[in-house]
Structure 1
Amino acid sequence: MRQCQATAVVPPERLLFAILAGQGRVLSSELEYATARARCELPLHHPGQHADHVWDWNHQPTHALWARWTTGGTTRFESLPWCETPGGPDADACTLYRDHPHPHSWTLTDDPRSEAA
């Protein structure tokens, strides 16, 4: 199944504020991994808001920080638990957040040729 193509700007000062609010501190060297642009990780034509994983919590490995937005809307940040449903080709867990619109991450691709045939 195809992955959503929606993108959004991730304001760096708002992302930093969300990280600091969630874990209290962050090293400047860690910020090199922060993204300035989000790309939705959900399936194409999914219901609700777009979502992109933007930060792994140091103190809470069962959750991650996600950027959430609607088309033309403001980007906001939300700490969500990982889906962790097993079943990928290597028995990997789903890398989306819990209660995401189905299907799971291992069935999604951004290659348009994947549905041709």
Structure 2
Amino acid sequence: MTLAPPATRPVCGATIVLPASLVVRAVALATAHGGAAAEDVERHLRCLLQAHKSNEHYAFVLELSGAETGAVWARWEAGAPSRFVLKVLPDCPATDQVTHEPCGEFAGHQGGHTYQLADGSGLDE
């Protein structure tokens, strides 16, 4: 049995709380994909991209129903938290060739795939 190499690249880890007004917007974005409830929306957001020097952060907000629909993602800028943008983005198609673990980010994300990153926060355990 071949094991995948251990993940060693750190995640960004920037955090922010999704404003209540954007919870409503996230649910509205999901309407075209079968809908969602406000309880399904992630409110405590954390950038899990590979550590980066950019002020631009991304976090998963809401899974959409159906195959190949992607998810709702938030983008914000450090130092300008009121500049939130919510977008439906397709899933990253990458899969670890050893473990077959899919990447949990959006297509075209910067940095390594989630299965290549080490999250030292203990939040994912």
TM-score if structure 2 supplies the norm length? 0.74
Partner of 2:25: 17
Name structure 2 gaps, 5 residues minimum. 1-8
Alpha-carbon separation, structure 2, partners of 1:15 and 1:60:
23
> Are positions 1:42 and 2:52 aligned together?
no
* Distance verdict in 2 for CA 1:18–1:31, change over 3 Å: closer
In terms of fraction of residues, the more strand-rich structure is 2
Alignment of 1:76 with 2:85, yes or no, is yes
Tell me how large the CA RMSD over aligned residues is: 2.3
How big is the shift at 1:101? 0.7
For 1:105, the aligned partner's letter is: T
Distance, in Å, in 2 between the alignment partners of 1:18 and 1:34 is 7
Matched pairs, number? 110
Judging changes above 3 Å, is the alpha-carbon distance between structure 1 residues 77 and 4 closer, same or farther for their aligned structure 2 residues? same
| Cα deviation, residue 66, structure 1 | 0.2
How far has the Cα of 1:65 moved from its partner? 0.2
Instruction: Give TM-score, length-normalised by structure 1.
Output: 0.78
Given that residues 41 and 52 in structure 1 are in contact (C-alpha distance below 8 angstroms), is that contact kept between their aligned partners in structure 2? yes
What one-letter code is carried by the residue in structure 1 that aligns with 2:110? P
- How far the C-alpha of 1:35 sits from its partner, in A, is 2.1
Instruction: Give the helix-richer structure, 1 or 2.
Output: 1
Distance in 2 (CA, whole Å) between partners of 1:35 and 1:13 is: 13
Residues 6-56 of structure 1: CA deviation (Å, up to 9, x unaligned): 1122012212223214415745xx332322221001011254621111101
Matches within 5 A, 1:1-117: 1-23=9-31, 26=35, 30-45=37-52, 47=54, 49-59=56-66, 61-73=68-80, 74-87=83-96, 89-111=98-120
Identity %: 25
